[in-house]
Amino acid sequence: MKPFEYQVEATCQYTAARAGKFQTPHGIVETPRFMPVGTLANVKTVTPDQLQHTGAQMVLANTYHLHLQPGEALVEMAGGVHQFMGWHGPMLTDSGGFQVFSLSDIRTISEAGVQFKSPRDGRIINMTPEESIRIQNALGADVIMAFDECPPYPASREAVAVATDRTYRWLQRCIAAHQRPDQALFGIVQGGVYPDLRAQAAAALKELDLPGYAIGGVSVGEPPELIEKIVRATTPLLPPHKPRYLMGVGTHREMVQAIAAGMDLFDCVIPTRLARHGTAIVQGERWNLKNARFRQDLTPLDETCGCYTCRTFTRAYLCHLIHAHEILAHTLLSIHNITALVSFTQRIREAILSDRFVEEFGHWLSPETALSELA
């Protein structure tokens, strides 16, 4: 296999769902797969060893956050992000675009890039496509993302069209700036909730023959049915022999719907964020373990889950740790929540491989989707 080859192993006969293998310099990612987010070169409260036991294969880190702290020069000096954080499997860095647009006090967006004030120390930072790629080349993840303009929701068609066109021009600058053949640069399809803009963007990106493609700018506040509509309209326009990554999506329903449309990779901060609020993901539901009904419940958190937390502890113990404000609660719930999402995608993968995807996961699809897929 080439360094970044993607092989389709099986496809569903009723939907566009597919199982595949994505080769990277740090190992193979079996798809479909959920990827946990390690914002500052750590998945919050979870060690790399614990992370590996969740079944996670590829981990994200955030370019924006690592640029602000501790800076890419230090990470590079430490041997790159894998070595720095002690995770030796495949990694992906985002471009920083999403955080620049969502978190910072934006000063100006221009054709050159975005100038913003660091929320950490107030210094003025110029983030451009070239700068994002330079930082990501220094961090050294296997997959790096193009610097894009992520329009908010709601936004006018005109505003989204301007951002989508600019994202394409920025992508061409990213390609020109990219220095490392051992890193795969993925392009990002923008276009907001406008299917024609998404289609134009996908067609333009396809021409560039990139090693992978992402759908970005979803899960930014629009209703779930719009996310599904965008993904169903856009995914078939992406090249079939390349990995497809739906950015920022990680609920059971959204992942099943996107997988049915042909998406492969997902990420979301939800499992660790929920864990820090004492919430567990159980069979796709969210349980608040502070609840009094768990105080004397001596059963495992989820009997069907094979994670360390579920094999070792009771609901009563987790409830106790949360009430006592013990940090161990965050670790144990993060281990479970990440396992819940990764193993969910792993079970979907196995179902696709044995052509049982619709039988086993069709109930997550909306009736309208399921009918149109089966028609």
Residues acting as catalytic residues: 94, 267
Identify which of residues 215 and 307 has a Cβ nearer to Zn ion in the complex.
Answer: 307
Identify which of residues 33 and 65 has a Cβ nearer to Zn ion in the complex.
Answer: 33
Least Cβ distance, residue 264 to Zn ion (angstroms): 24
Least Cβ distance, residue 343 to Zn ion (angstroms): 8
Least Cβ distance, residue 219 to Zn ion (angstroms): 24
The Cα-based distances of 84 to 48, 66, 77, 81, 263 in angstroms read 11, 12, 9, 5, 30
Q: Work out which of 198, 242, 315, 336 binds Zn ion, going by CB under 5 A.
A: 336
Identify which of residues 293 and 311 has a Cβ nearer to Zn ion in the complex.
Answer: 311
Q: Which residues are annotated as a binding site for Zn(2+)?
A: 305, 307, 310, 336
User: Cβ(334)–Cβ(272) under 8 Å?
Assistant: yes
Q: Is 227 in the site for Zn ion (CB under 5 A)?
A: no
User: With CB under 5 A as the contact rule, which of the stretches 152-160, 165-173, 217-225, 328-336 interacts with Zn ion?
Assistant: 328-336
Least Cβ distance, residue 52 to Zn ion (angstroms): 15
From 244, 287, 291, 269, select the one nearest 338 (Cα to Cα).
269
Compute the CA torsion angle 343, 346, 351, 355 (nearest 10 deg). Answer: 170
Q: Which residues are annotated as a binding site?
A: 94-98, 148, 190, 217, 305, 307, 310, 336
Identify which of residues 36 and 151 has a Cβ nearer to Zn ion in the complex.
Answer: 36
User: With CB under 5 A as the contact rule, which of the stretches 19-27, 85-93, 135-143, 334-342 interacts with Zn ion?
Assistant: 334-342
Identify which of residues 192 and 271 has a Cβ nearer to Zn ion in the complex.
Answer: 271
Taking CB under 5 A as the criterion, which residues in 256-315 touch Zn ion? 305, 307, 309-310
User: Cβ(123)–Cβ(117) under 8 Å?
Assistant: yes
Least Cβ distance, residue 44 to Zn ion (angstroms): 17
Tally Cβ neighbours within 10 Å of residue 5: 15
Residues that bind Zn ion (CB under 5 A): 305, 307, 309-310, 336
